Amino acid sequence: MLQHLPVLQVMVPLFGALVAALSRRPGPSWLVMTAASWIALAISVTLMHQVLTGGVISYHIGGWDPSLGIEYRVDVFSALILVLVSGIAAVSAPFAHRSVASEIPEDRIAWFYTMYLLALTGLLGIAITGDAFNAFVFLEVSSLSSYALIALGRDRRALVAAYQYLILGTIGATFYVIGVGFLYVTTGTLNLGLIGERLAAVESTRPVLTALAFITVGISLKLALFPLHVWLPNAYAYAPSTATVFLAATATKVAIYLFVRYLFTVFGDRFVFAELPIQQVLIVLSVAAIFGAGAVAIFQSDVKRMFAYSSVAQIGYITLGIAIATQTGLTGGIVHVINHGLIKGALFMALGAVALQVRHCHIEELAGLGQKMPLTMSALVVAGLGLIGVPGTVGFISKWYLIVASFEVGWWWLAVLIVASSLLTVVYVGRVVEAVWFREPSEVARGAREAPLSMLIPMWLLAGATVFFGIDANLTAGIAAKAAAALLGSPG
């Protein structure tokens, strides 16, 4: 059984989706979703343990040799993403129960969970597969189910947001496939590791560069790298709360995983940064994302949209770490993948608990909610502090690594930019905190009651994690450092 864990990691949520679709009623389908995500988490934790103790796991599907068949390959970085995605799904399961019941019509709840599990399948598949085209398949599985998830939102603008995401996401995926096509034509294989090895022998670099360009742009659309981020604010704002929690914490992170995998394992960072000005472009776009999206966030009156723009800014930090591409920089980028997942998960859960009672997450309607929902709003404050990067929270750990990395390569101006951007975060988080805790309750807020326990516990689990891993970051940063070392040392 244990040696089949890699394929079970994907099969369990997939079959869960099937069973959820067949079960039709809200209660059973929720149970299926919970069971599937918890089992997926158990599998991913076991895989992580196996990788940390035994080295890279290579699983050949159907027994076919990797050059011919599909290989599932788990190294430290993949295991990290697997744990993150399944962890968020598992923690969201109890949260989803009340949230979904209140936001989605009863006859569609089973479909919601089906789509949710399909999205989980797709995301886990991207992280675990070692085949380029298989990655495309899972990419589309996760994307299509995400479009459906978003479209199930209450507001009719969710439909338009899903449509816009569909158009842009499909263009992105298609660009990715074009890139893979060029890689196949030049190397004759679709296995990521083997492509990496064979690329060194390829003489004509033009198709390779074309492939790199298409893959970069394609994945950047999925990752919501500025300026290809336009689908994200609306998608996160109008999706059902559980969908936002799940997608905000995981979808873009898996795209980042794919991006890093191509940059470091397939093409090799030395080749990539030497042949194309990707490092400079990434740095400029990352800084633009951090400041641009941060500035726009300040002026939003819908709090969900505000934090969606915040996500675009935070992704900028991750890509900045990747662009610096030193051990410290890459560690900072990877650890922020985890940290941001935790922070945004907690934040959107708090907003989801608010949405249970207050229909729109308008900052005016949130006024004074701290008095009626103190536990929920405290979780919001804790996660908000993590977003700002106050020492003692996970946000600080990521920022520390990025600042030290900037100093190490002598780009002190970048360190200045990183710290300056925290101030933007202070402003918009401060706006929300001030409205929630320091104003008199609004009309709608007066009728609000504290969130149910099934929502509070997951919320505080994630919010607590943002503080716990800010004080003892050896687990998260340690694993991130190992992942970074493996990526930087890999051939290609």
Which residue ranges make up the site for another protein (CB under 8 A)?
Answer: 133, 136-137, 140, 144, 147-148, 151, 156-157, 159-160, 162-163, 166-167, 170-171, 173-174, 177-178, 181, 184-185, 385, 388-392, 397, 399-401, 403-404, 407-408, 412, 415-416, 419-420, 422-423, 426-427, 430, 434, 437-438, 470-474, 477-478
Residue 285 or 388: the one with the smaller Cβ distance to another protein is: 388
Residue 443 or 472: the one with the smaller Cβ distance to another protein is: 472
What are the tokens at 372?
């009626």
- Tell me the C-alpha distance between 61 and 84, whole Å: 24
Rounded least distance, CB 147 to another protein, Å: 6
Residue 395 or 458: the one with the smaller Cβ distance to another protein is: 395
Q: In the chain, helix, strand, coil percent, each to 5?
A: 80, 5, 15
Rounded least distance, CB 150 to another protein, Å: 10
Rounded least distance, CB 156 to another protein, Å: 4
Q: Are 412 and 335 in contact (CB under 8 A)?
A: no
Residue 162 or 306: the one with the smaller Cβ distance to another protein is: 162
Residue 56 or 404: the one with the smaller Cβ distance to another protein is: 404
- Tell me the C-alpha distance between 120 and 431, whole Å: 34
Q: Are 396 and 472 in contact (CB under 8 A)?
A: no
Strand, helix or coil for residue 361: coil
- Tell me the C-alpha distance between 154 and 272, whole Å: 44
Rounded least distance, CB 131 to another protein, Å: 11
Q: Are 264 and 488 in contact (CB under 8 A)?
A: yes
Rounded least distance, CB 99 to another protein, Å: 22
**Angle 485-489-490 (CA atoms, 0-180°, nearest 5)?**
120
- Tell me the C-alpha distance between 317 and 418, whole Å: 8
Q: How far is CA 198 from CA 67, 184, 356, 486, in A?
A: 11, 11, 54, 19
Residue 370: Cβ within 10 Å count: 21
Residue 25 or 301: the one with the smaller Cβ distance to another protein is: 301
Rounded least distance, CB 141 to another protein, Å: 9
- Please enumerate in sequence order all residues whose Cβ is within 8 A of that of 370, keeping only pairs 6 or more positions apart, or say none: 377, 436, 437, 438
Rounded least distance, CB 372 to another protein, Å: 15
Residue 299 or 412: the one with the smaller Cβ distance to another protein is: 412
What are the tokens at 234?
């609306």
What are the tokens at 266?
């397939």
Rounded least distance, CB 324 to another protein, Å: 14
Residue 29 or 331: the one with the smaller Cβ distance to another protein is: 331
Residue 65: Cβ within 10 Å count: 10
